[in-house]
Amino acid sequence: MIEILMPALSPTMEEGTLAKWHVKAGDTVKAGDVIAEIETDKATMEVEAVDEGVIEALLIDAGTENVKVNAVIARLTGEGEPSSASVASRQTPLPPEGGERSASAPPPKGEVSSGAKQPATEGASPMAPKLNGSSGDRVFASPLARRLAQAAGIDLKSIAGSGPHGRVIKADVDAARGKAPASAPASTGAASATAPARQHQSLEQQGIPAGSYDLIPLDGMRKTIARRMTDSFRDVPHFPLTIDLEIDGLLAARAKINAMLERDGVKVSVNDLVIKAVAVALKRVPEANSSYTPEGIALHHHADIAMAVAIDGGLITPIIRAAETKGLAQIAVEAKDLAARARDKKLKPEEFQGGTFSISNMGMMGIRSFASIINEPQACILSVGAGEPRPVVKNGALAIATVMTVTLTCDHRAVDGAIGGRFLAAFKALIEDPLQMVI
* Residue numbers annotated as active site: 412
CB-CB contact of 156 with 146 (8 Å): yes
CB-CB contact of 25 with 7 (8 Å): no
Cα–Cα distance between 275 and 402 in angstroms, integer? 19
Cα–Cα distance between 353 and 54 in angstroms, integer? 33
Among 67, 31, 23, CA closest to 48? 31
Cα–Cα distance between 260 and 272 in angstroms, integer? 16
Cα–Cα distance between 427 and 91 in angstroms, integer? 74
SS3 content of the chain, % helix, strand, coil (to 5): 30, 25, 45
Strands 53-58 and 72-78: antiparallel
Helix (H, G, I), strand (E, B) or coil at 326: coil
Cα–Cα distance between 104 and 102 in angstroms, integer? 5
Strands 53-58 and 28-29: antiparallel
CB-CB contact of 233 with 418 (8 Å): no
Backbone angles phi, psi at 2, to 5 degrees: -110, 125
Q: What is the number of alpha carbons within 13 Å of residue 238 lying toward its C-beta?
A: 27
Q: Is 159 exposed, middle or buried (0-12, 13-18, 19+ CB in 10 A)?
A: buried
Cα–Cα distance between 354 and 120 in angstroms, integer? 48
CB-CB contact of 275 with 331 (8 Å): yes
CB-CB contact of 6 with 69 (8 Å): yes
Helix (H, G, I), strand (E, B) or coil at 257: helix
Between CA 244 and CA 248, with CA 247 as vertex, the angle to 5 degrees is: 140
